[in-house]
Amino acid sequence: MLFQIKSRYRTKYSSYIQLQLQCHRYFSSWLPENHPFNISPKLEPPTYHRAQPVPVSLLHQINFQDTKHQHEIANAMRPHFESKNPHLLRNLYSKCDAIYFWRSLKYWRMAVGEEMDVEIEIGKGYNTSQRVTTKFGAYLEYLQLCIEKGAHEAEEVAYLAQNELFAQVQEDIPIPRFCCECDGSYNVGKGKLYHTMLWMGPSNTVSPLHYDPLDNLLVQVVGRKRVLLFPPVGNDTTNAANSDDKLWHYAGVDGNQYNTSAVDIENPDEKKYPNFKLAPVPFECTLGPGDALYIPKKWWHHVRSLEFSVSANIWWR
């Protein structure tokens, strides 16, 4: 009986929140594009001394239910997918439900509940952090404290990273059809979806320099993240730990995984990792709410949140 009461309360309260946010969305939809409410944060000047900006496509008023718009997304992606170069799809998700719902910790609590087990990284990156399991409600309380007091750069942070996207909120963030429909209509890969993951945390969470074996669409929903990307050069994804000629990224060295660099690229130890100075020129971008970044497979990337942040990423073939 108690469970039924809680379930009814959750459904009613969640519907109330959604109604409020639907009104918020309607209000924003008829404002001009240059109104401050409708503008995503601009790219900040590169902070890495040699970085170059990621190429950008600007998309407006995308409706994921519209087949014409799905082809527009695929057409913007296709040349960069074929050349295997990163590309920023600015505002791709600016009108999706997640933009309006996910900024609210109350919404997360009501939509997902507090008893869900989640895995948290405690530290300064998965290669140096401790991974623990906790309840989602406890993690939301931690986030609320971080938002209220602000997170200091030197503090170790708790990062909800590499968790499967909760089934309860999957409809909030639609997946481009080229990632999940394999009938050949969109011709951006094979259309085989692999995983959709959730990333949530305070400012200064870090994913250390690493690469993934699959093509990746990183969707920024709440807050901002800075991303640095280094292109693969030749066969540089070889495990450097088993090579006499240490490669610039030092992947697999000092106990790291084969696809993870041992170098702290924001503060590199040039004596310990002298070949890092041979790294290729990186790309850099700052993602704001609604932006999606295409990260080609085997491109090295380093990600830092600049404020409270919620992201999702889509891996596909």
Q: Beta 56-58 vs 87-90: how paired, if at all?
A: parallel
Answer for the pair 95, 105: CB distance below 8 angstroms, yes or no.
Answer: no
According to DSSP, the residues that pair with 295 across neighbouring strands are: 216
| Residue 168: per-residue pLDDT | 95
Split at pLDDT 50, 70, 90, the class of 235 is: low
| Residue 17: per-residue pLDDT | 56
Split at pLDDT 50, 70, 90, the class of 24 is: low
- Collapsing DSSP to helix, strand or coil, 316 comes out as strand
pLDDT at 44 over 50: no
| Residue 53: per-residue pLDDT | 94
Phi-psi region of 126 (alpha: psi -120 to 50; beta: other; left: phi over 0): alpha
Answer for the pair 93, 99: CB distance below 8 angstroms, yes or no.
Answer: yes
Return the higher-pLDDT residue of 88 and 23. 88
| Residue 39: per-residue pLDDT | 42
Average pLDDT, rounded, for the chain: 84
pLDDT at 213 over 80: yes
Question: What secondary structure does DSSP assign to 197-242, as a single string?
Answer: EEEEE-TT-EEEEE--SSEEEEEEEES-EEEEEE---TTTTS-GGG
- Collapsing DSSP to helix, strand or coil, 22 comes out as helix
**Closest by CA position to 108, among listed 40, 10, 219, 217:** 10
Split at pLDDT 50, 70, 90, the class of 51 is: confident
Average of pLDDT values for 298-314? 96
**In the chain, where the domains are located:** 59-224+292-316
Return the higher-pLDDT residue of 5 and 68. 68
Q: Give me the sheet containing 87-90, strands edge to edge.
A: 56-58, 87-90, 292-295, 215-222, 309-316, 193-201, 157-164, 117-123, 130-135
pLDDT at 9 over 80: no
pLDDT digits (tens, 9 = 90+) for 190-204: 999 999 999 999 999
pLDDT digits (tens, 9 = 90+) for 264-276: 999 899 999 999 9
Phi-psi region of 11 (alpha: psi -120 to 50; beta: other; left: phi over 0): alpha
Average of pLDDT values for 89-112? 95
CA distance linking residue 120 with residue 123, whole number of Å? 10
Indicate the pTM of the whole model.
0.84
Fold of 59-224+292-316: Jelly Rolls (2.60.120)
